[in-house]
């Protein structure tokens, strides 16, 4: 297993002094009216909402967390936070898709459009292992996905929107389609690209529309996927604050023996701040050891750290993240995800993009192959 992991992704020692994030790098609050409340029991929550009336908008019973719209917004947190049985009261936190728009998409050397597939030795994985990966499901918590894209449609993915609880996961942003195709796009349909995860099943969990994710929507996507059998969860998103609700969701998934993979961030040139949930998976100071999952940095075609990629003691490993090739959503703006003509392709859209967002799903896909090689492994062992 160790030799196989080394052949699929390149582990690197990454270290740099941490600096504060720029204030303008913090995403805006999506809804200043709501609060997220963590509670110990239904009775405790009922007492709190009786004391400080609020309308429950959404509930995550597995995590004992609710999103509420209080009648008295100014005093709600003060009145409720100290009550017995209330774990926390906090504003919803936001995260952004871990993409690097400043890096212009462009063809790269490597002998093939999807250069990263051979660079990671994914082309040397046996057909039997690629097929055996079909036993395992990868959940992509993102902006949805274009289910008509050939490599995604071939997987007949489970689809769920954490935003409105529907099966509509249309991806107008484009980020989720790019990520999903890298993690688990079909490698046997003779069209487009080959996802890293062989025939791993794909769960498309929509938690955002325009690249901004709240911690509550992300947690809802995680719990939904875990309850429906996903063994790997990919989080190509991040922000600069710790969320209790997202922390609960990550611990919940880990307790179910689910492997979590998160992008480490693209802010190296903007102070190299610590990003979450990556640093929830690998705590600062851990040097990639232990933790609840894998925090993934981005590398170049030459195997060096991509200039934009964050570094630090919370980074586990790196995977190709600069000018990688993947599927593009038909519903996304060409200015955001430019299309590249793919010789031999009969349908779908494809292109290049950069970011730790696109390194993480390759690690998620590789994890499915490792599990396929040895199904007795625990998530921690994988």
How far the first Cα of the chain sits from its last, in Å, is: 8
Quote the CA–CA distance of 249 and 280 in Å, as a whole number: 11
Q: Contact at 8 Å (CB) between 310 and 264? A: yes
- Helical H segments across 295-379, by residue range: 356-373
Q: Which 3 state secondary structure label does DSSP give 319?
A: strand
247 a catalytic residue = no
Q: Which among 116, 129, 60 has a CA at the least distance from the CA of 92?
A: 60
- Number of Cβ atoms within 10 Å of the Cβ of 376: 6
Q: How far apart are CA 310 and CA 298, in angstroms?
A: 8
Q: Which of 161, 181, 353, 357 is catalytic?
A: 357
Catalytic residue among 143, 175, 299, 316: 175
3-state secondary structure of 180: helix
Tokens of 235: 């989080």
Name the pairing type of β-strands 237-238 and 94-97.
Answer: antiparallel
Active site residue 87: no
**Cα 301 to Cα 221: distance, rounded to the nearest angstrom:** 32
Whether 171 is a known active-site residue: answer no
- Which two tokens mark 158? 């489970």
Q: Which residues are catalytic?
A: 142, 175, 357
């Amino acid at each position: 297993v160790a030799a196989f992991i080394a052949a699929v992704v390149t582990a690197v020692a990454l270290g740099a002094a941490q600096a504060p994030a720029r204030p303008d790098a913090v995403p805006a609050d999506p809804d200043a009216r709501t609060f997220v409340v963590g509670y110990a029991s239904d009775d405790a929550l009922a007492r709190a909402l009786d004391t400080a009336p609020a309308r429950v908008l959404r509930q995550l019973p597995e995590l004992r967390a609710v999103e509420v719209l209080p009648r008295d917004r100014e005093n709600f947190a003060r009145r409720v936070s100290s009550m017995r049985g209330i774990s926390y009261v906090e504003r919803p936190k936001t995260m952004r898709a871990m993409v690097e728009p400043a890096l212009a998409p462009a063809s790269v050397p490597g002998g093939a459009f999807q250069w990263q597939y051979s660079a990671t030795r994914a082309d040397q994985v046996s057909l039997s292992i690629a097929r055996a990966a079909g036993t395992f499901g990868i959940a992509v918590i993102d902006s949805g996905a274009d289910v008509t894209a050939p490599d995604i449609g071939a997987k007949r993915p489970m689809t769920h929107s954490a935003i409105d609880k529907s099966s509509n996961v249309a991806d107008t942003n484009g980020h989720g389609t790019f990520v999903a195709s890298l993690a688990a796009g079909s490698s046997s349909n003779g069209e487009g690209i080959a996802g890293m995860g062989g025939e791993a099943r794909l769960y498309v969990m929509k938690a955002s529309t325009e690249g901004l994710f709240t911690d509550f929507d992300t947690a809802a996507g995680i719990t939904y996927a875990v309850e429906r059998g996903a063994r790997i969860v990919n989080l190509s998103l991040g922000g600069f604050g710790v969320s209790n609700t997202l922390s609960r969701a990550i611990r919940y998934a880990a307790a179910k023996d689910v492997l979590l993979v998160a992008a480490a961030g693209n802010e190296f040139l903007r102070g190299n701040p610590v990003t979450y949930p990556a640093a929830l998976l690998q705590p600062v100071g851990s040097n990639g050891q232990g933790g609840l999952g894998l925090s993934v940095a981005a590398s170049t075609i030459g195997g060096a750290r991509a200039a934009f990629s964050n570094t630090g003691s919370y980074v586990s490993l790196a995977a190709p993240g600069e000018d990688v090739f993947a599927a593009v959503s038909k519903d996304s703006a060409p200015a955001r995800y430019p299309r590249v003509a793919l010789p031999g392709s009969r349908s779908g859209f494809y292109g290049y993009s950069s970011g730790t967002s696109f390194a993480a799903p390759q690690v998620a896909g590789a994890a499915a192959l490792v599990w396929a090689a040895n199904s007795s492994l625990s998530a921690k062992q994988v």
